[in-house]
Chain A
Amino acid sequence: MTLDEIFGLYNYWVVICLMMTGFYIVIARKNLIKTVIGLNVFQTSVVLLYITMGKVTGGTAPIIPPEIAAQHGEHHEHSTAHSTAHSTAHMTADAPHLDHATEHGHEAVTPLTQHADHVHQTASAMADHSTELIYSNPLPSVLMLTAIVVGIATTALALALIVRISEDYGTIEEDEILLIDQRDSSH
């Protein structure tokens, strides 16, 4: 095993260590709150595992920088304007070109082709921009956002059950609860 491999995999190993710590807390500790804490630790490690897989070296967060996003939005409007302007010349977007189009009717073809060239230029400029930027994978982030929120729901439910158990049994230690239950069933 080379040093390169160790550096490539060490984060998985750390995450597995964390997971196993959570697992240990769940199976070795008899206190119910401690068990829920162990589940939480386990869940956070699973989230970390997924997020780790989505990372790309030299990448950045999957948020498009404002200037590129603005170009895109503009590009979108332009292309709709371009496609519909042939049939209905009274579009709202990009006033000067389209005023021209309403004035000259069929002659509007020339400015529209210019317009199309312009769109093409922005598109290629944008492509240049996006080749410079590498984004990390957004999909694990989305899945883990859902997992975290579902996790808090299950934690809340488990804690409510623990409160209920402590009201009834007066203890939240697993072995004491079992003892009480055995005594009850023998009576």
Chain B
Amino acid sequence: MFVSIFILTLLVVTAITIARIGDLWAAVMFTGIFSFLGACWMLILDAPDVAFTEAAVGAGVSTFLMLGTLALAGKTEKPTTSSSVVPLFVVAVTGAALIYGTLDMPHFGDPNSPVQTRIEPSFMEKSQSDMHGLPNVVTALLASYRGYDTLGETAVIFTAGIAVILILRRSNDGFKSNDVFNSQSNSRKGSQ
């Protein structure tokens, strides 16, 4: 309980620091810390698989990608001149609505909440005979019962990978539409 409260406090402090800090380099590192703290909390919440993925992907790969972008696109944020009253108001109203929505939600760890009583027992029981004694039920669900989900996820990653390659492609490799795009952008630079 106290470990949980401690980690949650750290998460909130980190998130607010990310929102306030102007140095993008530091903000990216704080995002890594945020993901890692999230992974720690997931471990307490009995989701080791998600914790591993979050630590590897959220704290690892995503930080790496952002640092790469920073190296290419500039490190400091311009201090904001516009007032932050309107965004703060919008955020406060949305947050209040969401908190009002949680009031009749099942309490933390309640074994009788709809999430637990609808599907879970059958999956825990079924997977043992279906998967010939595979110990990790999350793996069984991910790779077999929800296999199409995972297939779709792979398709999304593939599409994103192709899109990143096409966006970052240079003009001198003979890709026609990209040539057009680049000449437009050059003329725009010329007009500045």
Residues of A in contact with B (beta carbons under 8 Å apart) = 4-5, 7-14, 16-25, 27-31, 33-34, 36-38, 40-41, 44, 47-48, 51-66, 69-76, 134-146, 148-157, 159-168, 170-173, 176, 180, 183-184, 187
* Chain B nearest CB, measured from A8 CB (Å): 3
Quick check: A51 and B62 within 8 Å, CB to CB?
no
Interface of A is mostly: helix
* Chain A nearest CB, measured from B33 CB (Å): 11
Given contacts A62-B136, A168-B185, contact A173 B78 (CB under 8 A): yes
Nearest A residue to B46 by beta-carbon distance? A136
Given contacts A31-B24, A62-B138, A66-B135, contact A172 B74 (CB under 8 A): yes
CA distance A161 to B103 in the complex (A): 40
CA distance A135 to B149 in the complex (A): 23
CA distance A95 to B87 in the complex (A): 73
Quick check: A44 and B38 within 8 Å, CB to CB?
yes
Cβ contacts under 8 Å, B180 to chain A: none
Quick check: A146 and B18 within 8 Å, CB to CB?
no
Nearest A residue to B61 by beta-carbon distance? A152
Cβ contacts under 8 Å, A34 to chain B: 24, 27, 77
Whether a CB of chain A sits under 8 angstroms from the CB of B73 is yes
Given contacts A25-B18, A152-B57, contact A145 B160 (CB under 8 A): no
Quick check: B73 and A23 within 8 Å, CB to CB?
no
Quick check: B138 and A16 within 8 Å, CB to CB?
no
Cβ contacts under 8 Å, A149 to chain B: 53, 57, 153, 157
CA distance A126 to B128 in the complex (A): 11
* Chain A nearest CB, measured from B129 CB (Å): 6
Given contacts A8-B107, A13-B102, A52-B108, 6 further A-B pairs with CB under 8 A are: A5-B107, A48-B41, A56-B109, A135-B124, A160-B163, A172-B73
Cβ 8 A contact of B46, one of A38, A60, A167? A60
Given contacts A21-B19, A47-B50, A153-B160, contact A164 B168 (CB under 8 A): yes
CA distance A66 to B136 in the complex (A): 10
Identify the 9 closest CB pairs spanning chains A and B, nearest first.
A8-B107, A73-B133, A57-B109, A153-B160, A136-B46, A28-B87, A166-B73, A21-B15, A20-B95
